[in-house]
Amino acid sequence: MSASSVTPTGPRRRVIIVGAGLGGLACAMAMHYQGFEVLIFEKIKQFLRLGDSLGLGDNALKLLRRWGLYDQLVAIGNKSPNMNIRRWNDGKILAVQPLMDMAGFIGHRGDYHTAFIERVEELGIKINMGHEVESFDEEAPSITLTDGRTFFGDIIIGADGIKSKTRELVLGFSDAPRSSGYACYRAYFKGDCLANVPECQPILNHDCLNIWIGPDMHLVQNTLRDGEEFNWILTHRDTEDITESWFQPGDMSDVRNLVKDWDPMIVSAVSATSSCLDWKICYRAPIPTWVSKSGKIALLGDSCHPHLPTSAQGASQATEDAAVLALCLTLAGPGNVPLATHVYEKLRFDRVRQSQLSGEDVRNRWHNSLKSLTDGMEIDPDELKIKNRWLYSFDAEEDTRRRWDEISARVKEELASGNLTPLFGDEGPSRELLARDAYGKIKDTQSNKVPLPTLTV
């Protein structure tokens, strides 16, 4: 793109997407398939193969398949039919669950990201790498890059992740993350590093997934690509004062100490691991709207609803957002972007919130269910299973078509009266809570109470 200032020229409506993570790329595909022109800006100059295991559920895969991306994703995912939930100290299998019920296809985030990029490029959409969005004009609407160039569109979509600048614009303040009280040590390496470790042999050379659960900790282990790659993620209590980062190196001696009394099969894998990352899991409270005051800027993916790793739904929910927002823009018709964005957030919020809460529910059950057992008592396997099946059968596009008339009629009335209802009502987290930083310090004290839906799985 060479022009210093670009305005819409043709009749096609133009969508500007900030961020080319999995959410922004899914959005580019969905918008393309609804016939919109897509401009996508990414601040990173070149992507690396970052992260490790990420789940893509059937709820996302059925949408991605409509956008021409399926076989490539299935090829990346873990092929194990089942996962085993094991007792922390002796590895006894307490429950077995089909992997598709648990997390869908688990694969390397970087590989999924590459597959998404390739599909977007195949569709003729250029990803403008090294283009950082610095500011927004929400009435125009337009974005301005750090190099001073301004681009106009019909709608701006903030798919700019957990540290989103677009969210700041939508909220009117910066809502800092809060500590969840947990952190993950994460390692991903070549499977042959463990080839000479006798205790690990049962979990090498074939795709498998095992989860060891114990008091206040769990460890997820993945063997992928017929044993070519090996990954473990240890979730443990942590209130240490560091900021959320995907790059913070972990201390392997701390990890070895945490699992020293665990099942020798996994202890020996951890002992043979040379390095890991230390990722603090931070919460962001739900926010009362995903849409700017003008209705022309909307949030999508982690920028408005980050998930815990135990939900295995971060990328999948971002993909659903993309499908719903694109269809809402089509159903609302030209010149009706605020109607589309406000219907989108109302269609999405309750489902996304329940998906977020399901991650907390799983973690709490894994960390607590063995605590109350006395000697000789057996645990009910169902108490340990991930209850995500209801998430996977959902078709986000079908749901949007089914509920459009009802929700859009309500939103039209609200837009006419200028009285837009927040995503949740009077009793939930306040602006004060939203503005607390990771360690509880209040940065903003305006009160705006709002209740949350409860978890019903």
Ligand X SMILES: Cc1cc2nc3c(=O)[nH]c(=O)nc-3n(C[C@H](O)[C@H](O)[C@H](O)COP(=O)(O)OP(=O)(O)OC[C@H]3O[C@@H](n4cnc5c(N)ncnc54)[C@H](O)[C@@H]3O)c2cc1C
Taking the least distance from each CB to ligand X, the nearer of 227 and 359 is 359
The site for ligand X, by CB under 6 A, has a size of: 32
Residue matched to tokens 């009793």: 427
CB 181 within 8 A of CB 172: no
CB 41 within 8 A of CB 133: yes
Count CB neighbours of 243 within 10 A.
12
Taking the least distance from each CB to ligand X, the nearer of 32 and 109 is 109
Q: What angle do CA 334, 10, 341 make, to 5 degrees?
A: 30
Task: State how far the Cα of 68 lies from the Cα of 33, in Å rounded to an integer.
Answer: 10
Task: State how far the Cα of 61 lies from the Cα of 177, in Å rounded to an integer.
Answer: 30
Task: State how far the Cα of 340 lies from the Cα of 397, in Å rounded to an integer.
Answer: 14
Binding map of ligand X across residues 116-155, x = CB under 6 A, - = no contact: ----------------xx----------------------
Near ligand X by CB under 6 A, which window of 20-28, 287-295, 369-377, 404-412? 20-28
Residue matched to tokens 């360690």: 439
Q: Please, what is the minimum distance in Å from the beta carbon of residue 392 to ligand X?
A: 16
Q: Would you count residue 439 as binding ligand X (CB under 6 A)?
A: no
Taking the least distance from each CB to ligand X, the nearer of 57 and 309 is 309
Taking the least distance from each CB to ligand X, the nearer of 167 and 365 is 167
Q: Please, what is the minimum distance in Å from the beta carbon of residue 311 to ligand X?
A: 9
Both tokens of 268, joined, read 């020996």
Q: Which of residues 244-273 bind ligand X (CB under 6 A)?
A: 246
Q: Using CB positions, name the residue nearest to ligand X.
A: 21
CB 353 within 8 A of CB 313: no
Taking the least distance from each CB to ligand X, the nearer of 22 and 450 is 22
Question: 14, 165, 218, 365: which one contacts ligand X (CB under 6 A)?
Answer: 165
Alpha helices in 129-177 (DSSP H): 165-171
Near ligand X by CB under 6 A, which window of 35-43, 116-124, 169-177, 369-377? 35-43
Near ligand X by CB under 6 A, which window of 15-23, 98-106, 291-299, 354-362? 15-23
Taking the least distance from each CB to ligand X, the nearer of 277 and 327 is 277
Output the CA torsion sign for 54, 64, 405, 418.
Answer: positive
Taking the least distance from each CB to ligand X, the nearer of 322 and 384 is 322
Q: Which of residues 294-353 bind ligand X (CB under 6 A)?
A: 301-303, 309, 314-315, 318
Near ligand X by CB under 6 A, which window of 48-56, 193-201, 399-407, 423-431? 48-56
Taking the least distance from each CB to ligand X, the nearer of 315 and 328 is 315
Taking the least distance from each CB to ligand X, the nearer of 309 and 429 is 309
Task: State how far the Cα of 310 lies from the Cα of 39, in Å rounded to an integer.
Answer: 33
DSSP for residue 422: P
Q: Please, what is the minimum distance in Å from the beta carbon of residue 202 to ligand X?
A: 25
Both tokens of 164, joined, read 């989103």
Near ligand X by CB under 6 A, which window of 13-21, 195-203, 429-437, 441-449? 13-21
CB 186 within 8 A of CB 233: yes
Taking the least distance from each CB to ligand X, the nearer of 153 and 301 is 301
Q: Among 355, 433, 360, 344, which residue's Cα sits nearest to residue 390?
A: 355
Q: Would you count residue 19 as binding ligand X (CB under 6 A)?
A: yes
Task: State how far the Cα of 325 lies from the Cα of 36, in Å rounded to an integer.
Answer: 12
DSSP for residue 167: H
Q: Which of residues 54-73 bind ligand X (CB under 6 A)?
A: 54
Q: Would you count residue 50 as binding ligand X (CB under 6 A)?
A: yes
Task: State how far the Cα of 44 lies from the Cα of 119, in Å rounded to an integer.
Answer: 19
Binding map of ligand X across residues 371-410, x = CB under 6 A, - = no contact: ----------------------------------------
AA identity, residue 212: W
Q: Among 96, 12, 7, 32, which residue's Cα sits nearest to residue 322?
A: 32
Alpha helices in 259-310 (DSSP H): 264-271
DSSP for residue 226: G
Binding map of ligand X across residues 212-251, x = CB under 6 A, - = no contact: ----------------------------------x-----
- Would you tell me which residues interact with ligand X (CB under 6 A)? 18-24, 41-44, 50-54, 109, 132-133, 159-162, 165, 246, 301-303, 309, 314-315, 318
